[in-house]
A and B are shown apart, each in its own frame.
Chain A
């Protein structure tokens, strides 16, 4: 079965600094990849997804991610973060043929003033 590893459990960063949240996946079949954001006491909200085509995917709130098949990675980036980006971020993977979605353990992004 497919799996996801988020390499950093916590990422503290100052406001307006760039950030990268790392995600590696494992699968024996073609996959789709996702990043979700979870604000306190809320459900998960889709940030962006990679299904096919261009390996650079742009999402909401200025986030982007790059699919790297050779490195089996899907790192999330933002060139300049805001206080409001403080949240938990989850990387997820699903086989291309079904919706068996597996999530990573999450990365808590804390943006400091």
Chain B
């Protein structure tokens, strides 16, 4: 596709529900990142994939957060038993190659609201 796409764009969940957020990176991009952006703040790193391998998940805030990229393209961020503090915009980004010295292309984000 022309850019990174994310779905859904908006998600409202009741506290305790599980949610799944999808990211379609730019075709052929090796690296995929997930970020969490709270209102009024910069994006905070959650996890990183190089192809299907999750190389860094140090930013995931708890074991309720799980991400996967089984075929090295589409990725899903799953949040179990959502809490109000999980409310944020979840951003996905991809880069053509691996590592931290490449231009990232961001999707529009999924805004999650937990009631």
- A and B held together in a complex: no
Residue numbers of A with Cβ under 8 A of B are none
